[in-house]
Structure 1
Amino acid sequence: MGGLWWLILSALTAIPMIKLLPFFGINKWWAMVCLVPLGTIALLWWMGLKLKELEKL
């Protein structure tokens, strides 16, 4: 039962990431990293780094 909740929460975070990642210049297929524990945190960190790069321009 716990695995089912994990899949539901992963899907709920992967769907918005699919839409957000292209705005940061990251391929949308990287959203599948949300299925791995701590993957969402890693993607948010990567998006933050890309945002810093975009601010410098």
Structure 2
Amino acid sequence: MEGLLYIVMAALVVIPMFKLLPGYGINPLWALICAIPLGLIVLLWVMAARADRRAS
């Protein structure tokens, strides 16, 4: 049962990241890294760095 819950929660994170990453110039397949622990935090950090660079 825990495995099914993990898959559902991972899908709830990965699917929006597939749509957000191309806007930051990142291959959408990198969204799959959100399925591992701390992967989402790393991708959010990279997205923030790219947004800061794009704004200036």
**TM tier relative to shorter chain:** over 0.9
Contiguous gaps of at least 5 residues in structure 2:
none
Normalization by structure 2: what TM-score? Answer: 0.92
Contiguous gaps of at least 5 residues in structure 1:
none
RMSD: 0.8
Which portions of structure 1, spanning 4 or more consecutive aligned residues, are displaced by more than 6 angstroms?
none
Counterpart CA distance in 1 for 2:5 and 2:40 is 16
Partner of 1:34: 34
Normalization by structure 1: what TM-score? Answer: 0.91
DSSP 3-state at the match of 2:26: coil
